[in-house]
Amino acid sequence: MFRKLLNSELGRPDIEEFKKLEKLPVTVILDNIRSQHNIGSAFRTSDAFLIEKVELCGICAVPPSPQIHKSALGAEFSVDWEYHEDTAEAVRRLKESGYTIISVEQAEHSTSLEKFTPSPDVRYAVIFGNEVKGVRQDVVDMSDICLEIPQSGTKHSLNVSVATGIVLWHIADRLNHK
């Protein structure tokens, strides 16, 4: 018999404790995400996997926002974030700081996600693109790696919040088992 655990039984840190925890060496970059619910979901997923930061770029809304909060459930307060008018500038800054740049995109010569093994000694900036247009081509051009989530159905893509969850879980799983 299974009994659902109460939130109080999960042993989760509060925001102050979360801020002190060691984070995975991963920054999420949201490239012109139009849906505030998708942005909130990225915050919530980043909180779940101890991601170090979310970079909001271009047309992305920023906290405080009731729509972001609705899906983030407060993760916009626990996860560090910055806003950048231009995604390419944010990527350039992170690349100069030693990050390996990953675009999650369907591209020539992309790496299928299950074949990607992150290194615990590398800092990654993982870019998720606009719901319709994906990651901008000039940003893809700046990338060291393009990761593609394998799919078999008739649709050409996944919702960006779903893709964020899949990719961040994969990276967290591989880094936490090292």
* Structural domain spans, the chain: 18-176
Domain 18-176 in CATH 2.40.10.10? no
Q: How far apart are the first and last CA of the chain?
A: 33
In tens, the pLDDT along 101-154 reads 999 999 999 999 999 999 999 999 999 999 999 999 999 999 999 999 999 999
Strands (E), 36-86: 51-57, 81-84
Residue 101 amino acid letter: I
Q: Which residues contact 176 (CB under 8 A, 6 or more apart)?
A: none
Q: 11-46, pLDDT tens digit by residue?
A: 999 999 999 999 999 999 999 999 999 999 999 999
Cα 102 from Cα 140, distance rounded (Å): 8
